Amino acid sequence: QSALTQPASVSGSPGQSITISCAGSSSDVGGYNFVSWYQQHPGKAPKLLIYDVFTRPSGVSHRFSGSKSGNTASLTISGLAAEDEADYYCNSYTTSSTVVFGGGTRLTVL
């Protein structure tokens, strides 16, 4: 199963909005509404941000939102803050009854 495709890096200034894409295929992202997103700060374990394409777990800021169109999912972070600087990973269920992660995106807050 090939990894989902994410941009290696994105950046934005405080207060701006950014979007991270996650491209897959009809065998994963496009075939199921089971896309999740994780945030990972350096030296820390990942944190679940979004699941089932757009659902936020309790306690996750409303500044994080998810969406999907065809074979591509997206994570949007609005009102960028310094603490958002981290690595972000998408994940999708697949036709193999397993999951595949994206390669990760490093977000820099300028």
Partner 1 sequence: EVQLVESGGVVVQPGGSLRLSCVASGFTFDDYNIHWIRQAPGKGLQWVSLISWDGTSTYYGDSVQGRFTVSRDNSKNSLYLQMNSLSTEDTALYYCARDQGRWNPATFNFDYWGQGTLVTVSS
Q: How far is the CB of 79 from partner 1 (least distance, A)?
A: 25
- The residue type found at 14 is P
- Tell me the torsion sign for CA atoms 87, 13, 35, 22: negative
Rounded to a whole number of angstroms, the minimum distance from the CB of residue 65 to partner 1 is: 17
Beta carbon nearer to partner 1, 74 or 91: 91
HEC secondary structure over the chain: CCCEECCCEEEECCCCCEEEEEECCCCCHHHCCCEEEEEECCCCCCEEEEECCCECCCCCCCCEEEEEECCEEEEEECCCCHHHCEEEEEEEECCCCCEEEECCEEEEEC
Q: Which residues are at the interface with partner 1 (CB under 8 A)?
A: 1, 3, 34, 36, 38, 45-48, 51-52, 57, 89, 91, 93, 97-104
Residue 83 beta carbon to partner 1: minimum distance, rounded to whole angstroms: 19
In the complex with partner 1, which residue's Cβ is closer, 37 or 74? 37
Nearer to partner 1, 82 or 93 (CB): 93
CB of 19 to partner 1, least distance (A): 19
Q: In terms of CB distance, is 80 or 102 closer to partner 1? A: 102
